[in-house]
Chains A and B, each alone.
Chain A
Amino acid sequence: MSCLKIVEIYAYLDGESPADQREKIERHLSACPKCREAVEERKLLTEAASSLPSLDIPTDFTGRVMAKIAPAKRHLPVWLIAFAAGLSSLALLLIIVAISGGKYLLSLLTTLNHSMWEYAKNVAVFIAKLVTILSLAGKVLSLLTQPFYKGLTLLTTLISPGVQIFIITLTLVLFITFFYVLRKKFMMGEKI
């Protein structure tokens, strides 16, 4: 065997040479100091390359990553907390003023109860009005869509059932394709 080529040395060191080739190389190495030295040198270099130090990683790194992918539970907005605090302070102040003004707590509670009842009545009236408006809107909408349904009915009498099935299938396929295209477009990350 002639002297080793560089690629043969690396393949040999990687254990990638076929068994018969390996045998030949080893026989050659025992007889050729130049190749032996070249192999030894590349072996030591490879070992040095394989023991490069790891880079320092901060102790809180995992936590940082997890905080990025799983943000902490949503807290209530500051304005809402401030509003609630203000409202409860006001209620407390009213109670104190009422009691210190000589009213009994019981009568104060009765007054509050009455106000609450009034409020509930107002809300009920509002909901009733809203339901009426919505039902009217429904009626108007059904009047508007009637011509469309009539047109559709006429169309189904004109087109044969086979063509109708074809149109429905085509629409479905187009819709699903559109959905997947959009999904792929907005998908992050990589796929092998």
Chain B
Amino acid sequence: MSSMNEEKEKELVRRTLRGEKNAFEMLVRNYQQPLLNYIGRMVGEREMALDFTQDVFVRAYASLRSFEPKYKFSTWLFKIASNLVIDYWRKKKIPTFSLSEPLGEDCEGLTLEIRDDEPSVVWKFELAELGKKVEWALEQIPAPLRELFVWRHTNGLSYEEMAEIKNLPVGTVKNRVYQAKEMIRELLEAKP
């Protein structure tokens, strides 16, 4: 996701704290695209996503002294973004749930074997069309699962990083991502 290595990022944080604003500008340039890709898919509106992304950097800058170098800068930044997104969901009354709680019966679906009559979804659509269909299905799945899916597949975060951001066990995060993928597959299966 980030072309910058961890040490360089921490050095940029230190330089920002010494008052070098151009060091923070480099961090903004490095993370603006990944953050927008994530926030855009969480809030759905481009202008709002741009405002939120801007807000994440403003908050990060204001609380940079509270950043603990033992963590990755990206993890810290995505945690700020996630909190902003969750606040937005709450205000918009978008249903959310705790990722550590079982998600109904569907949670067990992952432990099932493949159905004998499982139709192929991938071959149903043209390869070029598949991306658009995935994007559509992504909008249909529950917001907390969508968040993990986007972090994993658009932002390329590791399961460990995601677990750290959400303060959840790695195993739970993995299961939720698998669940999101399976939901997307089922939505595509049902799509005419």
Do A49 and B32 touch (CB < 8 A)? no
* Total of A-B residue pairs, C-beta within 8 Å: 153
Decide if A7 touches B37 in the complex (CB within 8 Å). Answer: no
B8 to chain A, nearest CB (A): 18
Distance in angstroms between the alpha carbons of A171 and B116 in the assembled complex: 75
> A168 at the A/B interface (Cβ < 8 Å)?
no
Verify B63–A187 contact, CB threshold 8 A.
yes
Report whether B59 and A188 are in contact in the complex, using a CB–CB cutoff of 8 Å: yes
Interface status of A153 (Cβ within 8 A of chain B): no
Residues of B within 8 A of A191 (CB): 63, 66-68
For B28, list chain A residues within 8 Å (CB): 62, 65-66
Tell me the complex Cα distance, A56–B50, Å.
10
Tell me how many residues of B have a C-beta within 8 Å of chain A. Answer: 64
In the complex, A44→B37 CA distance in Å?
A: 21
**A70 lies within 8 A of B21 (CB):** yes
> Contacting B54 at CB < 8 Å: which of A6, A52, A68?
A68
- What is the CB-to-nearest-CB distance from A72 to chain B, in angstroms, rounded to a whole number? 12
Q: A55 and B54: CB pair below 8 A?
A: no
Do A61 and B32 form a contact, CB below 8 Å, given A188-B62, A190-B63, A190-B83? yes
- Whether B58 and A68, one on each chain, are in contact in the complex, defined by CB atoms closer than 8 angstroms, is yes
B-side contacts of A2, CB under 8 Å: 113
Query: Is residue B2 within 8 Å, beta carbon to beta carbon, of the partner chain?
Result: no
Counting CB contacts under 8 A, is A37 at the interface?
yes
A5 touching B110 by the CB < 8 A rule? yes
CA distance A37 to B66 in the complex (A): 49
Q: Quick check: is B101 within 8 A (CB to CB) of the other chain?
A: no
Q: Is A161 an interface residue (CB 8 A)?
A: no
Does A76 touch B at the CB level, under 8 Å?
Answer: no
Out of A6, A65, A69, A189, name the residue touching B112 (CB < 8 Å): A6
A188, B61: Cα distance in complex, Å:
10
Chain A stretch 1-39: residues in CB contact (< 8 A) with chain B? 2-7, 9-11, 14, 16, 34-35, 37-38
Cβ-based interface call for A54 (8 A)? yes
Residues of chain A within 8 A (CB-CB) of B109 are: 6
Nearest A-chain residue to B51, judged by Cβ: A64
Q: Does B10 contact A (CB under 8 A)?
A: no
Knowing A57-B32, A190-B76 are in contact, say whether A6-B110 is a contact too (CB < 8 A): yes
Cβ contact within 8 Å between B49 and A55? yes
Q: Is A41 an interface residue (CB 8 A)?
A: yes
| Bound CA–CA A49/B32 (angstroms) | 20
- Contact A10:B178 (CB < 8 A) given known A190-B63, A192-B71: yes
B157 within 8 A of partner (CB)? no
A192 x B110 contact (CB < 8 A):
no
In the assembled complex, which residues on chain A have CB atoms less than 8 Å from the CB atom of B61?
69
| Residue A50 is within 8 A (CB to CB) of chain B in the complex | yes
Contacts of B135 in A (CB 8 A): 52
- Encoded as 1 (CB less than 8 Å from any B CB) or 0, chain A from 112 to 134 comes to 00000000000000000000000
Closest to B49 in A: A55
Of chain A, the residue at the smallest CB distance from B54 is A65
User: Whole-angstrom distance from the CB of B177 to the nearest CB of chain A?
Assistant: 8
Question: Quick one: which of B137-180 are within 8 Å of A by CB?
Answer: 149, 153-154, 156, 164-165, 174-175, 177-178
Check B182 for interface membership: any CB of A closer than 8 A: yes
Bound CA span A58–B53, Å: 12
Bound-state Cα–Cα, A62 to B35, Å: 13
Closest 6 CB pairs of A and B: A189-B63, A10-B178, A7-B110, A49-B153, A55-B40, A48-B130
Q: Could you give 6 example pairs across A and B, Cβ below 8 Å?
A: A4-B113, A11-B178, A49-B181, A66-B28, A190-B59, A192-B71
